[in-house]
Amino acid sequence: MKCSHIVTLVSFMFGTVILGTSENDKQSPKDLTSEPGHMKPFGSGRPSRQIDAVDGFPDQRAFLRDYAFGSKPLKMTGAAKLSPAFNLWTDDYFLSLDLPEESIVHLETIKKESRQQDTEDMKFQDFIKIYNKTEYYMVDAVPEYLGGDLLFPCAVQCTRLMEESVVTAMMWFSSGGTKSVVHADAVDNINCLYRGNKTFVMVDTNKYRDKVDLDRPEGLYSSMDVDRVDFTKFPGLAEVEFFHVHMTAGDCLYIPYRWIHQVRSFGSNLAVNIWWDHYSARDTDLDTCGTSCDSSITLTNVKLHGMDSTMSNIGSIKDHLINTVAIRGIDLDGFKKVFAEDMIETIPNEESKAKIASVYNELMDEFFRTLDVDSDGEINTQDLLTVPEQAWWDAQTYIAEVQQLFGVGEGEDEDLVTDPEDVHDEL
């Protein structure tokens, strides 16, 4: 099963996510059409707040303690200028590289993001030759041959975090004018900008989670038109406050785990973001972190574990289930749909499909019963808050067995790390 042809297991397992109110649950007797942000770009018409900003990278202990562990965004002005990539990465430099024949990158084809859009694969240097004349932009893992140019962000140069928690590094490369959907990431994120300008509009999920409707069944994003937000369809947005952040080339931005955000780019635009596992990193002992930056640590020195690694610890599993699947309760059929059932249909061999479906259904039945504390045929938040601790260890085992059933983690790590279908999050 090649991951280049399917979305990976995590997308199916935790793709059906609702962070706000459903259409049936919405009650908005007030006429919101006169609100100043109605039918305006996302982030308009509501109170705006500023985030903290520092020059360069803070030391690791301060960053993790005050920002990553505290779920607080931070702008690091000029921090990306420390990386060799900031001066090296010109188009002429990219075209001068002696690249392997298989230097293929994944491209989006519409600058206003649509996750149903067509995508293409192209040789990296062919993309460099045409991106300024087209809508094409690169959304893919940083190619291995460029990893040595990238300083790994000093703020997260803790040994344990670098060894165990880094998920992937993504490259976003366009001629500008891109607009992301409103979305959230189930990882922590540092985005560093090497060309152009970007604007981020962010919402504190911890404070306004029930006000921003990430209503798409495929994952953590919204169907709203980011240029004309309709408050009659998304009434919660008339009650939130926004953080507006402007980045220029050389800046880095920390986006906390699950914070809702929307991104726009301007001018020839090249950024790289580093994603790491929120819960794995939280086990980092701050006393083992340094206070200075090691300029010799590049991306090539850091192991990338892939998105599926985020399901390897109990904290992530519990968080995903409590904050997503179980907000309104889910029955066994819904549980199976969330947990990779659709992947069965990607299996071309009918005999294999039947065998895998049988094992999958048995696993899901057992998994569901483990979490359905009151045995009422539905898993809800109350169930998950009262599940015995052993049940979370059992959940970890069930997820590992499902991953094994679909071949995840069996020699396909690189595909899992680089599969663009999983990431579509920043632009």
Whole-number pLDDT of residue 414: 37
Note the pLDDT tens digit of each residue in 186-212.
899 999 999 999 999 999 998 998 888
Per-residue pLDDT of 346-385, as tens digits, reads: 788 888 888 888 898 898 899 899 898 889 999 888 888 8
pTM (predicted TM-score): 0.81
Give the domain ranges of the chain. 9-17+313-414, 48-309
Q: Which of 5-14, 138-147, 280-289, 397-406 shows the highest mean pLDDT? A: 138-147
Question: Among candidates 333, 342, 308, which has minimal Cα distance to 423?
Answer: 308
Give me 302's structure tokens: 């850091």
Whole-number Å distance between alpha carbons of 198 and 263: 7
CATH of domain 48-309: 2.60.120.650
Query: Could you report the per-residue pLDDT of 126-137, keeping only the tens digit for each?
Result: 999 999 999 999
